[in-house]
Amino acid sequence: MNEFMRKLLMLPPQASTLARSIDYLHYFVIITTMIGAAGVAALTLYFLIRYREGTGRDRNPPPDTRPHHARGGVSLWFELSVFGGLLALFVVWWIIGFSQFIRIAEPPPDSMTIYVVGKQWMWSFAYPHGAGSNGVLYVPAGRPVKLLMTSRDVIHSFYVPDFRLKTDVVPGRTTQLWFEVKEPGRHPVYCAEMCGPGHSEMRAEVIALADADYERMIQGLAQAQVAGPVQGLAIPFEAEPREPLSLAAMGQRVAAEAGCLRCHTVDGTPHIAPTWAGLYDAVIPLADGTQLIADAAYLTRSIMDPAAEIHRGFTNVMPSYQGILTAPQIGAIVEYIHSLRDVSRSPGEAPLPAPIQGTVPLVTPLEGTAPGEPRAAVPNSTGATP
Amino acid sequence: MSDHGPQSSAPRVGIQFQDLAKQEHAAHFGMWVFLGSELLLFAGLFGLYTAYRVKYAPEFAEAVHHNELWIGTTNVVILIFSSFTVAWAVHSLRRDRRRTTLWSLAITLVCGLLFLVFKGIEYGMHFQEGVFPGHHYAYKEMPGHGAQLFFTLYYFMTGLHALHMIGGLAVIGWVTARVARGRTTSAYPVPLVLGALYWHLVDSIWIFLWPMFYLTTS
Amino acid sequence: MTSYLTETTGIKSWLLTKDHKRIGLLFMIATALALILGGVFALLLRFELVNPGPDFMDGLTYNRMFTHHGIVMVFLFMVPVIPTVFGNFFLPMMLGAPDVAFPRLNLASFYVYCAGAVIVLASLWFGGVDTGWTFYTPYSTSSPTAVATAAFGVFVVGVSSILTGLNFIVTVHTLRAKNLKWMEMPLFVWAIYATAIIQVIATPVLGMSLTLVAVDHAWALGIFDPNMGGDPVLFQHLFWFYSHPAVYIMILPAMGVVSEVVCTFSHNRPSSYRAIAFSSLGIAFIGFLTWGHHMFVAGMSVLDVGIFGILSMFVAIFSAIKVFTWTITLKHGRIRFTTPMLYFFGFMFLFVFGGMTGVAVATSSLDVHWTDTYFVVAHFHFIMVGGTLTMYLAAIHYWFPKMFGRMYPERWGLVGATGVILGFIFTFTPQFLLGNAGMPRRYWTYPAEYQWLHVASTAGATILALGLVVTLGYLIWALFKGPRAERNPWDSRSYEWLAPTPPPVHNFEAPLEITRGPYDYHLPESP
């Protein structure tokens, strides 16, 4: 029955754990809607025919002297029952729908976190322990996964029809979406908020893998995607560490899990964000021309409100981690940065990010950019070059 | 509303109105509806200000502190006084004291111009420090987004208000000309009454902008 | 006997007229041009979508096409059309008045509309806009297209809307004929009145929001730019605070037309006058409280989602009250099945279905899947086209004799209406399925398995366009060659039919004395 309705209404496969119950509500609502509309139309047609001019059904009733009520009008009680019933039906829909929405909005506490960045016109994913991928989101089947998402530029929307889930991806904020995929499989991802000429091509894919396959896949990714030519930083995928970690080592792990290392290098190599090598207690120039010392307080503030005191020469693309990292985690990261204070920094400008391999767009990109590259050619109206 | 026709003070009743009283009533009603829509124009901006104030409370407070209180307060005093003079003009016209009416209107105009002059001086002071709206903001002593947003809203809202002030001056000027030529008299003072109402609106909006941008330092 | 059409001649007497009827006709021409332009954009979009890959447009052009389709249709046609054409023409007549309260302001609102329309079209000349008619930041403030021009143009058109609303509110309050009580005005007046309230309250907020976008685009204000500390979602709140009530601006006047058409052609008074009058006010009021349902996935709190969702359920009940009342009005009536009634029948199915899909999207969890997909596109087109456009066409036919003194050809009317209604159904029903399948809106290329639905939709659009072209054709013919109409060919009891056909310049030969109600079908026609 479920499959019949699903196919009739052209709904995609119910790949997430919530999809089926959402679809049941869908059937309830749509069937009622169709019956209601058809019923009104049928009743209208019936009256149009039955009371048409010349049938004689109108000739007999006396003039209607009741104020404001026509001949053949219905009693107030009947009307109130109809509207009361209709309102009750809508409220029932709302109750079911809202309780489902609450479940959609609140991830289970043991969810695995994956970071998502949407940017014109591609999706990037960062996994715990530092691995990353573009255009393909690898998730374990049978486990809840929580996506923490932000945008690098304009509003996008992360939409997986097979899961019946969608959340806008907003610059300057972190939004969230969670799901549990029932079985291994592939599911298309679309961008669902108008974001420019490449909007229709901003696609991705969720690949759900069985647990063992998943671990292998993530380990394979871990080596490749950390920022800069760093050796030996990828942390082996282990559920529990074999011995207690120092605070700095814990900070290193958190930094990898939280995706920091995708933009901050630790060996002095220039990249999207200031390198952590030699950063602690150094004098750094700020965007507004002043200078300050990058002490623990500054580093902590930068994690919570990155835009407030930006290092000169870098663009404001870092999302805030307020509410995402706990105080001990932030402290651990700061301690890790502290442990890198004697690593020498190399001078030089940060190069543009290299072209990223991933989904190839269906059409020729704007002149002057390679697939996936930011549109460096055209500065936006604020003068900033994206 | 009487405009063309013989230079007499006999007001003309539009064909759509049953009598002069109805026309006057309709004119008043229409003006109030219009004032309501003007209020809603600013309402969204007040909402924006509130939202950003909640988000950047300390920076906003500090930025308010930075604004020159004496200019803002002087402007409030000027405007309240000008509302008094324009009300006095209405009062005088109803008693056929044409000269008093004209003097009161002239003072109102001068007050409005003074307001704009002080506003201009204040903007100039801001520009010198590098306080510009939006992307061009360059005030070193208060870097950061909160202050930048505050001043952007400040420019936009006081700028929009100043545009309305200029419109108000045009209206008052037009009414003054009508009174001077004897076309608006106690028989049908509606143009002056409605012009004064508009002036009061412009004044009232400033009375809300004043605490938002000059008083609330904490 | 001269009428408002022939009393004065020459282009100046039309372009500088203060006669509300002539102004209504000026608006009729302007809005019809807007409908044609918006329709051409729509057809181009539909033809591009016949194949999954690019056909004759690139991505940027496609984005500009749907943006301008939306801007032109919403702001230059849907929002103004019924109030400025039929509200202007008939509001004073229905009140027994010789004109609106402020005739010169009325003419001014026409020219302000024209100025705004010219500015919007100028933005096309400067490269168009590709943000969607919703202008979401920060894309709208950084898009390298003519955003500032288009946003400013919409602002100017909004001023025209406010002036019209203001004029109508004052007219209803102050120009009713001597014995005409509020509860004896034709129901179309209540609809226009409720619409005017929304116009005056909501439009300034849109004007301000779009001005912010225009200034931001031109001079980098950064109010909604996260790089400068701004919050892009705040724009959405401001935008939808107007744009949700705006949809009621678009549907309420059409509902007013339904009331008139149903009562006249079933020769019966409404089964509950109060229900219709007060539900119009109810829609206007609650309509201001539901804007957040456009933002369920935009990052609002769960509590907000719940509140906006439940409030949205209430607004639907008012529409249900009207539908119910209209249906019962047919009972024991003496019904003539004319072209306006065929449009009414189409309305009853399309509006009810579209409206209930509105309740469906307000059911928060379902909207997570449906929002920003073709499901929503289908939903609002069912209401806008299936609701407002059908009743706009019904209004043209219903009041054609009064306005022009001629009758339209009834058989052609039924043909045109059938084409419009069937064409519409075939255009937009596949889009519900596309939305269910997961096709996002504003997509220029799409997965190949959706193609058959797009082909069906385009076929429907072609039929719809043909129906409209046929309608336009015979209406223009009827203007010059249609048989002369008598004063009250439909035997209606509404007050505008007491005037001569076509009416003289000041509507009635002598000041109207109201001695009966507008739906007193149990009494003979002459007062």
Round the average pLDDT of chain A to a whole number and report it. Answer: 78
Instruction: Classify residue B7: in a domain, yes or no.
Output: no
* Residues in Cβ contact with B75 at an 8 Å cutoff, skipping those fewer than 6 apart: B115, B118, B119, B206, B210
Q: Taking CB atoms and an 8 Å cutoff, what residues of chain A touch B144?
A: 308-309
Give yes or no for a contact between A258 and A252, defined as CB atoms under 8 angstroms apart: no
pLDDT bracket for residue A72 (50, 70, 90): low
Query: b/e string for C48-77 if b means 16 or more Cβ within 10 A?
Result: bbeebeeeebebbbbbbbbbbbbbbbbbbb
Residue C323 contacts residue C351 (beta carbons within 8 Å): yes
CATH number for the domain harbouring residue B181: 1.20.120.80
Residue A365 has pLDDT above 80, yes or no: no
Q: What is the pLDDT of residues B27-82, one digit of tens each?
A: 999 999 999 999 999 999 999 999 999 999 999 999 999 998 999 999 999 999 99
A37: nearest CB among C305, C331, C352:
C352
Find the residue in A nearest to C330 (Cα): A47
Over 70: is that where the pLDDT of A346 sits?
no
Flag whether residue C218 sits within 8 Å of chain A, measured between CB atoms: yes
What are the chain B neighbours of C223 within 8 Å (beta carbons)?
A: 48, 134, 149, 152-153, 156
Which residues of chain B does A383 touch, with a Cβ-Cβ cutoff of 8 Å? Answer: 135
* Residue in B73, B71, B74, B81 with CA at minimum distance from that of residue B111: B81
Residue B134: closest C-alpha in chain A: A382
* Domain count across chain B: 1
- Judged by DSSP in three states, B14 sits in coil
Is B77 inside a domain boundary? yes
Q: Is B136 on the interface with A (CB under 8 A)?
A: no
Q: Which residues constitute the domain of residue B44? A: 20-215
Angle (CA) C104 C108 C110, round 5°: 120
What span, in angstroms and rounded, lies between the C-alpha atoms of C36 and C30? 10
Distance CA A318, CA A378 (A): 21
pLDDT band at A54 (very low <50, low <70, confident <90, very high): confident
DSSP A249-262: HHHHHHHHHTTGGG
Nearest CA in chain A to C304: A98
Q: What is the pTM of this model?
A: 0.84
Token pair for residue C96? 């027994």
Nearest CA in chain B to C97: B16
- Is B5 part of the contact surface with chain C (CB cutoff 8 Å)? no
Pairing of strands A144-151, A112-119: parallel
- The answer as to CATH 1.20.210.10 being correct for domain C13-498 is yes
What is the band of A57 on the pLDDT scale with cuts at 50, 70, 90?
Answer: low
On whether the CB atoms of residues C497 and C88 are closer than 8 A, the answer is no
DSSP state of A267: S
* Complex confidence, ipTM: 0.93
CB contact under 8 A, C332 and A168: no
Query: Which residues of chain C register pLDDT less than 70?
Result: 1, 526-527
Predicted local confidence at residue A70, as pLDDT:
53
pLDDT tens digits for A233-284? Answer: 333 333 344 445 567 777 888 888 777 887 888 888 778 788 898 888 888 8
pLDDT digits (tens, 9 = 90+) for A118-139: 988 899 888 877 777 888 999 9
Range name among A171-185, A214-228, A260-274, C351-365 with the lowest pLDDT average: A214-228
Within a domain: B5: no
Question: Is the minimum CB–CB distance between B143 and chain A shorter than 8 Å?
Answer: yes
Q: Is C52 on the interface with A (CB under 8 A)?
A: no
Q: Check CB contact of B44 with chain C, cutoff 8 Å.
A: yes
Contact B48 C100 (CB under 8 A): no
At residue C152, the pLDDT reads 96
Predicted pLDDT at B174: 96
- Residue A64's pLDDT is 52
Are the beta carbons of A382 and B135 separated by less than 8 Å? Answer: yes
Hey, which residues does A325 pair with through a beta bridge?
A322
